[in-house]
Amino acid sequence: MGRLLIIDVICAVAALGIWYLLFAAYNRRRGAEALRWVQSACAGKGRILDFRWLNSSRLHARLHFPSRSFENAHVTMKFRPRPLPIQWLLSRVHKQKETLTFEADLGGSPNFHLEVVRHRWCAHSRGVDARQRDQREWDIYEPGPVILTTRTHWKQDSTPELNTLMTVRQQDVLQVRFRPESPQFSATIALDALDDPKTASGFLSTLRELAAGASAHRQ
């Protein structure tokens, strides 16, 4: 009985080891492909200096841009934790996306904190009971900008913050953050969005438009 238990444990460990090696290799292939997407998105206006894996599902790469629009630039790509079965299952349940986060310092330090999170749609049912579930009707709304601020007085006129918010709503950017501390600017995008050549070609332009909003605020 004890010998059978030991054999079962050895088989389970071997199976987990094979799972880890196979899916770690798969994530590395995904990482190499994503690096090509990033290089293509830079469109000759920037290049990848080096990269390293932080763990089996996170890839970090440093970027260089000839202009001073971005300094100390780097990207962090977050893949599904496929090599770890339980974490991979949880990520599937929570429908977590694979993302790329761009972080950099700007030409001058922003004098404000701003975080913009994109939310596309919200919906609610009209209270149809369970017997009429197949006939349930939904009202779907596209929400407008929601701003949370610590300012005592909020100006109602057009501001760079609002312009930044509206820019984000027109792009495939999930989250944008400005702050005085380094990294002063960060933007998160769904990784698969860079697979589309049209979206990838406008990725760097989108980042520059967002950074320009902060520059306008400092002036």
How confident is the model over 108-145, as pLDDT tens digits?
Answer: 777 777 777 765 555 555 555 555 555 556 666 656 65
Residues 6+ apart with CB under 8 A from 33: none
pLDDT at position 81, please?
A: 93
Neighbours of 206 (CB within 10 A): 21
Crossing angle (nearest 10°) for helices 203-218 and 160-169: 170
Of residues 45 and 71, more confidently modeled: 71
The residues with which 62 forms a beta bridge, in sequence order, are 50, 74
**Contact between 210 and 168 (Cβ < 8 Å):** yes
- The CA angle 94-58-202, to the nearest 5 degrees, is 85
Query: For tokens 């629009």, what's the residue?
Result: 69
The pLDDT assigned to 192 comes to 85
Q: Is pLDDT above 50 for 101?
A: yes
More confident residue, 163 or 88: 88
Q: Report the share of the chain in percent with pLDDT over 70.
A: 71
Q: Return d(Cα 65, Cα 56) in angstroms, integer.
A: 28
Section 161-182 average pLDDT: 70
Residue 132 sits at φ, ψ, to 5 deg, of -110, 30
What pLDDT score was predicted for residue 190? 87
pLDDT digits (tens, 9 = 90+) for 138-158: 666 656 656 666 666 666 554
What's residue 129's pLDDT? 55
The pLDDT value recorded for residue 158 is 47
- State how far the alpha carbon of 31 is from the alpha carbons of 51, 64, 124, 137, 157, in Å: 10, 19, 38, 42, 43
More confident residue, 94 or 126: 94
C-alpha distances (whole Å) from 182 to each of 1, 63, 213 are: 59, 16, 17
Using the predicted structure, report yes or no on whether residue 171 has a pLDDT greater than 90.
Answer: no
